[in-house]
Structures are given as C-alpha cells and as structure tokens.
Structure 1
Amino acid sequence: MKIYYVDAENIGLSMLDELTISILDRVFVFTNSESLKSTCSNALLTCVTGYPSGQNQADFYIIAHLSNVLAHLSKAEKKAIEFNLCSKDQNLWKAFEFQCSLAGVKSSAPNIAIETQISNVVVTIDTSLEAKILKLMSQPITSIQLQQKLNISQSNFTTSFNQLIKTGKIKRQEKSKKLWLRVKST
C-alpha cells in the first residue's frame, strides 16, 4: 500500500496523471485553492484543506498530518506501507524523510524534477504573473486581496510581488501602509 502526500500549493495536480494509484492506496492533496479543490473530485483523492494561509503553512500541515498518521500505525502496518511526497520543495522533503525514518517506514518520491536553479523558472513564471498583478492594481489594494483574487500560492505570489517592488513598478500608498499601488511610468 502507498500513501501519497501531494503538495498542490507547490506542484499543482497535473502530476497525478503520472501516478499509478490502486484502490488500496491513499492520496492526500493539500490545497486551499478553490480551483484545485474542485478538481479533486476523484474518489481516490482526499482533499486536505482549511489550514492557515501563509508561507509554508501547507508544508507544516503536511508534516503534522504525516506525524499523526505515523503515530497511529502498528508495526505490521509500518512494514507494509510506503509513503510518497509529491513536491518540489527540498526543505519539505528533508522534513518528510526525517519523519518517515524516525518511524521506521519506507519513503520515496515519484519521478518529480526538483528545480535547482529557481531563478530560471521564476523569470518564465513571474513575467505573466507580474502582468496579472499589475492589471489588478488599477486602484490601491492590499497584497492579501491581490493574492486572493489571483487564487495562487503565497510563495508564487510573494516572489512576483517582491520583484515588482524591486523594479519600482509598485509601492505602498503614502496614507495607508497596507495598501499598494502601481507606480505610473513617466
């Protein structure tokens, strides 16, 4: 039996098509995204949601969930179950493997390429995301409202948002430090 933990905040759901999931396997999909939740209609998938939004919150919840499951396994179950993490987050991988090794269970990774050069990926993803952020900033708005409107993970949003700040395309509103606005190009 295999138990899959899918960090949908990090990799989405497209990789589920590559997995061979049997009726005996369990797949936990971690996401707070409404669009991803709606695609989790497969009877073999369990959508885990409701954790706080914020950086690494899904990661913390994955490890807490894993630890809880591991604590309830018998010795025979520990020998028969393999835990798989579907994520590109190397820090999450370290924590996941550590918990599995502490419990004495087998862990492995489906064939997911872990990106070692984030900068190349960020440039291709962020340019379109940055354009979407700028488009939504016709009026002063909070960063939380922007992320919610875009319905994307906080890590992707934060990377693009910070890039817009660094390049001087957005700034805080002078009267309210919570509101952000687009800088008019001259």
Structure 2
Amino acid sequence: MKIYYVDAENIGLSMLDELTISILDRVFVFTNSESLKSACSNALLTCVSGYPPGQNQADFYIIAHLSNVLSHLSKAEKKAIEFNLCSRDQNLWKAFEFQCSLAGVKSSAPHIAIETESNNVVVAIDTSIEAKILKLMSQPITSIEIQHKLKIPQSEFTTSFNQLIKSGKIKRQENSKKHWLRVKST
C-alpha cells in the first residue's frame, strides 16, 4: 500500500496523471485553492485544506498530518506501507524523509522524480506552469499581467515564477523594475 502526499500549493495536480494509484492506496492533496479543490473529484483523492494562509503553512500541515498518521500505525502496517511525497520543495522533502525514518517506514518520491546534483535530494518537478509563463514572455511584461492572463492562484504562480528566476530563464528588464524578459539561450 502507498500513501501519497501531494503538495498542490507547490506543484498543482497535473502530476497525478503520472501516478499509478490502486484502490488500496491513499492520496492526500494539500491545497487551499478553490480551483484545485474542485479538481479533486476523484474518489481516490482526499483533499486536505483549511490551514492558515501564508508561506510554508501547507508544508507544516503536511508534516503534522504525516506525523499523526505515523503515530497510529502498527508495526505490521509500518512494514507494509510506503509514503510518497509529491513536491519540489527540498526542505519539505527533508522533513518528510526524516519523519518517515524516525517511524521506520519506507519513503520515496514518485517515478517522475529527478535528482538534483547539489545534494542528491529527490524532488518532483512540474513545469507546465513555467512553460505557460515563458510562452507569454515574448515581449517585456509585468508579473501581474502574466498571472491575470493565466488565471491561476497566486501561490502556484509565485512558485513557478520564482523557479524561472532561479534557473536563469527570466530576468528583469534593465530599465524597468516591473517588467520581465525571457532570457535568450545561447
């Protein structure tokens, strides 16, 4: 049996299409976004929401939920269950792995995960929002304009936008603090 924890605030729901979920598995989707909650109509998904808004609140709730579930497992159940985190938040992954190791249960990332070279932390990547952002950046544009055109929740947009900045794919326009440009690949 597998138990999946999906950090939808971080990666959205498109990753669910990549998972092979059996009737015996549990999938907890963590989101406060109304659009993501309505997309969780599958009978195999349990939408978890109601945590306070703010940075890392979903992460704290995921770890608290995981700890609660782990505390109720018998020794036999701990041997039979594998916990999976679907997120690209490396700090959350470290906390998730730590809790699972303390309880003596298996933990892993889904099969679409990649390893980062810097510290071998396994993280799941969803680039669909990033691709949409880049597509809109053929000319200088503000981040607010992009978010309005994509009609996605701010938390999802901010995560993807920051990832593009970190990876060097976008940058501020030199003479403007508000406008952003796509970086031309050489």
TM-score (norm 1): 0.70
Query: Deviations 1:80-123 (Å, cap 9, x if unpaired)?
Result: 11101111111111110000000000111102345859xxx898
Between stretches 61-70 and 126-135, larger displacement belongs to 126-135
* Count of matched residue positions in the alignment of Structure 1 and Structure 2: 155
Q: Which residue of 2 aligns with 1:95?
A: 95
Q: What does residue range 146-161 of structure 1 map to in structure 2 within 5 Å?
A: 150-153=152-155, 155-156=158-159, 159=162
User: Secondary structure at 2:154's aligned position in 1?
Assistant: coil
Aligned-residue offset at 1:53: 1.3
Structure with the largest fraction of helix: 1
Q: Alpha carbon RMSD of aligned pairs, Å?
A: 3.2
Q: Which residue of 2 aligns with 1:76?
A: 76
Larger Rg: 1 or 2?
1
Unaligned runs of 5+ in 1: 137-145, 171-186
Query: Deviations 1:46-76 (Å, cap 9, x if unpaired)?
Result: 0001111111111111001000100111111
Q: Which residue of 2 aligns with 1:179?
A: none
Query: Deviations 1:17-47 (Å, cap 9, x if unpaired)?
Result: 1111111110000111111111100000000
Q: 1:82 to 1:123 in 2, by over 3 A?
A: closer
Q: 1:113 to 1:74 in 2, by over 3 A?
A: closer
CA distance in 1, matches of 2:102, 2:92: 15
Q: Which residue of 2 aligns with 1:35?
A: 35
Aligned-residue offset at 1:124: 5.9
Q: 1:75 to 1:153 in 2, by over 3 A?
A: same
Q: 1:11 to 1:114 in 2, by over 3 A?
A: farther
Q: Which residue of 2 aligns with 1:86?
A: 86
TM-score (norm 2): 0.70
Q: What does residue range 4-153 of structure 1 map to in structure 2 within 5 Å?
A: 4-114=4-114, 116=116, 128=136, 131=142, 133-134=144-145, 150-153=152-155
Q: 1:55 to 1:69 in 2, by over 3 A?
A: same
Percentage identity across paired residues of the two chains: 74
Q: 1:157 to 1:97 in 2, by over 3 A?
A: closer
CA distance in 1, matches of 2:152, 2:87: 22
CA distance in 1, matches of 2:115, 2:37: 25
Unaligned runs of 5+ in 2: 118-126, 166-170, 180-186
Contact conserved, 2:130 with 2:161, CA < 8 A, in 1?
no
